[in-house]
Amino acid sequence: MMYCPECAVGIRGEHEFCPLCASRLQDAQPEYPADVQPPAEIGYEGVAERVRRKPWLIGMVTLGVLFIPGAISFIVDLLINRAATWSPIVLGALGLLLLYISLPSMVFYLNTRPESRASRKARRKRRFWMLMLLNALATWGYLLYLDRVDSDGLLNWAPDFGSLATALTLVVVMAFFYTLQPPGAVRRGPLLFIWLSMYVVVLDLLISSMLLDGEFFGWSLIVAASLIPLGAVYWIIEYLVSHSDRVKRRLHI
């Protein structure tokens, strides 16, 4: 009879590896099993299909919850202004929120057709990026709408700062959203870039409004445009490298 060096049990029959822990078998019987208990299996293989079994439910519940503030704002707007003035902006924001919350469960719905692990992984990745694109387009559309509503404003959100903000926000939001990673888990270093750029922009805004008698973005946008992408890239690299296993688990890939 052969023996497992880890489990310290004898193995009946002809086996090369232990049926319990897959260690290579040996001739001599160990006195005790390994002191350290084996770790739990990492990953949710087989769980995903149950977790995502009712993709429409999340969407419907979110719709139900968001319907209440949406309806209230619309009615209040109608009662006060006798027309829909600011309520479409709120409704648009709520619609965007609905999209952020309900789309993932629908996109990541696991069908039961048999397929290899590699193709499943590829399909999930494809869906993930498609989802990000969809959300980016929706956010971009919303910003364009804001521009149209606020056509007299000094800031032209969608073509100027909006595109950068959209892209950055999406990357960050998506990363948090799909990995359910709390912000505290990411090191503070990359955040400094973004805080610094925001500080510079606010400073520029204050100076220009006080000295130049009107909001004016000049040099601060140039600084921000260089600092924010640097910080974001730093953040993403840090995030993906140090937490790659967690990201993989949450994406079920």
Partner 1 sequence: MSTQRGTWYPLDHSAKIWPAVLSARFTSLFRLSVVLDEPLVLEDLRTAASAARRRYPYFSVELHRGLFWYFLEEAGEDREAVKADRHWPCMDYPGLKKERRLLRLYVYGPRLSLEVSHVLTDGMGAMEYLRTLVYEYLRIRHGLAADEDDPLIPRLPGSGPEEGEWIDSYLDHGLKGAPAKTLPEKAFHLPFRLLNPGEYRVISGHLSLSSVQASARSMGVSVTEYLVSVLFLAFQDYWIALHRVNRRTPRRLSRPIRILVPVNLRGIFGSRTMRNFFVYVDPQIDPRLGAYGFDDIVKYVHHYMRGEKHRQNLRRHFARLARTERSMAVRMIPLLIKNLVLSLSYQRQGDSRFTTSFSNIGPFALPEPWMRHVRWADFYPPPSPIMKQAVSMISCGDILSVSFGKMIAETPVEKRFFRELRRRGHAVSVGTNHRSMIPRRDL
Among 1, 68, 84, 122, binds partner 1 (CB under 8 A): 1
115 binds partner 1 (CB under 8 A): no
47 binds partner 1 (CB under 8 A): yes
141 binds partner 1 (CB under 8 A): no
How long is the chain? 253
24 binds partner 1 (CB under 8 A): yes
Q: DSSP characters for 179-246?
A: HT--GGGS-SHHHHHHHHHHHHHHHHHHHHHHHSSS---SHHHHHHHHHHHHHHHHHHHHHHHHTHHH
22 binds partner 1 (CB under 8 A): yes
Residue (of 158, 108, 109, 153) closest to 136 by Cα position: 158
Among 109, 199, 249, 251, binds partner 1 (CB under 8 A): 249
Among 27, 28, 39, 210, binds partner 1 (CB under 8 A): 39
242 binds partner 1 (CB under 8 A): no
Residue (184 or 214) nearer to partner 1, CB:
184
Q: Which residues contact 208 (CB under 8 A, 6 or more apart)?
A: 214, 215, 216, 217, 218
- Binding-residue pattern over the window 155 to 194 for partner 1, x denoting contact by CB under 8 A: -------------------------x--------------
Please tell me the distance from the alpha carbon of residue 50 to that of residue 99, in angstroms, as a whole number: 22
Gyration radius of the chain's alpha carbons: 27
Q: Which residues bind partner 1 (CB under 8 A)?
A: 1, 4, 7-24, 32-34, 37-42, 44-47, 50-51, 180, 249
